[in-house]
């Protein structure tokens, strides 16, 4: 479980293809603390397992074909920067919102607008997720906990404050880039409950 607060950015240094269409990524991030083999780590919002660690603070993660199909990981390349969040402790404050690292789909960047010191990013999202997305509700985008500012059919906007802009990968994104989208966990359970009544 994560909270959508990013403290580290990693850089992909190598990619290995597997015979069964899975992939392995090596990600470098010297500032990670107490990272161990077997730990869960959110890589741009995708919960992955650390399978190896090198002395220079690089780590390896395996990504299955199923995960590649539902996330933006298939477009990752050497040199790409990814948001990193280590799994939360039960004693942590939840500064963002509860994030599982189970990506629901991808959202596409339609526009980036600078307003004063902040940035407003407008996304297009899949129609099938519209029942889960509400104005002022929470979403995780590439692992970052954000609040939906405005909402219209198949589009929503979020406001990126300067701290978040400077400490996440949003500043490296371009129009038409796809980001990993995880809807609010509570919305999923409420929807399931209402459907069962």
The residue among 86, 120, 138 that closes a domain is 86
pTM beyond 0.85: yes
Distance CA 177, CA 95 (A): 27
Confidence of residue 95 (pLDDT cuts 50, 70, 90): confident
Mean pLDDT of 147-162: 95
The whole domain housing 182 covers 105-196
How many independent structural domains does the chain possess? 2
Q: What is the pLDDT of residue 164?
A: 96
Do 58 and 116 lie in one domain? The reply is no
Do 80 and 124 lie in one domain? The reply is no
Mean pLDDT of 113-136: 94
The residue among 53, 86, 119 that closes a domain is 86
Render pLDDT for 4-44 as a digit per residue (tens, 0 to 9). 999 999 999 999 987 777 999 999 998 888 899 999 999 99
Q: What is the residue-wise DSSP string for 107-157?
A: EEEEEEEEETTEEEEEEE--GGGGGG--TT-EEEETTEEEEEEEEETTEEE
Render pLDDT for 165-191 as a digit per residue (tens, 0 to 9). 999 999 999 999 999 999 988 778 787
CATH code: domain of residue 129: 2.40.30.20
Do 67 and 133 lie in one domain? The reply is no
């Amino acid at each position: 479980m994560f909270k959508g607060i990013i403290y580290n950015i990693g850089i992909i240094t190598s990619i290995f293809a597997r015979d069964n269409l899975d992939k392995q990524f090596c990600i470098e991030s010297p500032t990670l603390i107490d990272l161990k083999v077997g730990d869960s780590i959110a890589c741009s919002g995708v919960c992955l397992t650390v399978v190896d660690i090198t002395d220079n603070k690089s780590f390896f993660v395996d990504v299955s074909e199923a995960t590649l199909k539902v996330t933006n990981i298939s477009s990752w390349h050497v040199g790409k920067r990814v948001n990193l969040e280590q799994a939360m402790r039960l004693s942590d404050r939840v500064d963002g919102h509860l994030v599982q690292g189970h990506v629901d789909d991808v959202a596409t960047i339609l526009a980036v607008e600078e307003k004063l010191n902040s940035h407003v990013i407008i996304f297009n999202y899949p129609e099938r997720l519209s029942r889960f997305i509400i104005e002022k509700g929470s979403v995780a985008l590439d692992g970052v906990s954000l609040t939906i500012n405005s909402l219209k059919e198949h589009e929503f906007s979020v406001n990126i404050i300067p701290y978040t802009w400077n400490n996440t990968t949003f500043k490296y994104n371009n129009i038409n880039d796809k980001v990993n989208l995880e809807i609010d966990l509570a919305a999923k359970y409420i929807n399931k409950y209402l459907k069962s009544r």
